[in-house]
Structure 1
Amino acid sequence: MTPEQLADRLEHAATKIGPAIQKGVKHTVTLGAARIRGHASGRPGPNVISGDYRDSWQLTPVRRLPHGAACEFGTRQPQGRRLEFGFVGADSLGRVYDQKPFPHVEPAIPFMEQTLLAQMRLAVSEVLL
């Protein structure tokens, strides 16, 4: 391959890498959110009472970045941190708690890291082939 051919190939790949990364980020976050919802569906995570907390985990639309993408997901439910990390002490109303943690986000992180890495490898291989 000549330097000119390599330059052309890399230039072509640069135009395709953004959409390929966006697709991988969306896939990773979708699977990660499903994993968190699964972990928030009973022990060792929090028990399901009404399903409102589990269903509160929402994704933001994937945002395009130059040659990449970003997406966020989370919950706005006030019990989120307390369920994940536990709570010991008095709350703002003076009620005293000794609530153990019910991790449901942390156990999903290694899976999301591995999935994102695999998706980025796939994106690079797609645009360079």
Structure 2
Amino acid sequence: MDLEDLGPRLERAAGRVGPEVNRTVQQQARLLRAMIRWNASGRPGPNIITGQYFDSWRTEPFAVPDGGGAVIGTDRPQGRRLEFGFWDMTDRIGRHFFQPPYPHVEPAVNELSDEYRDAFKDALDRIFGGA
């Protein structure tokens, strides 16, 4: 590549950065949500009893300058308890509880980390490859 062409190539690529980053983030967020729900469909994660917890997982996209972001989560109170468990809890009326953890979020994040890196490498190729 000729260095004289670098400036114009970067200028042409600049318009593609925001849309490509946003597209990649949203795609990875949907994939992570699906993986979390898959892991929350039985052992070693939590079992599905009513389906309400499974259905409560949401992906909320948001805009950021030159890209996008997403929050993946649940508003159900049992989410933290199911993911991390609790080892020695006594409630207000004296009942004693032991809840083992049923991790379903962390395994999905760990499994997706290589995919996430590769997805952004592909986005960079799309941004700068057509410049």
TM-score (norm 1): 0.91
The offset of 1:17, in angstroms, is 1.1
The offset of 1:2, in angstroms, is 3.4
Tell me, which stretches of 5 or more residues in structure 1 are unaligned?
none
1:90-117 per-residue CA deviation (whole Å, 9 max, x = no partner) reads 2355432111001111110122212221
Match of 2:3 in 1: 3
Q: Report if aligned partners of 1:85, 1:101 keep a CA contact under 8 Å in 2.
A: yes
The offset of 1:60, in angstroms, is 0.2
The offset of 1:16, in angstroms, is 0.4
Alignment of 1:106-121 (within 5 A): 106-121=106-121
| Alignment RMSD (CA, Å) | 1.4
Tell me, which stretches of 5 or more residues in structure 2 are unaligned?
none
SS in 2 for 1:72: strand
Match of 1:71 in 2: 70
- d(CA) in 2 for partners of 1:106 and 1:71? 17
TM-score (norm 2): 0.90
- Percentage identity across paired residues of the two chains: 44
Q: Post-superposition, which runs of at least 4 consecutive aligned residues in structure 1 deviate over 4 A? A: none
Tell me how many residue pairs correspond in the alignment.
128
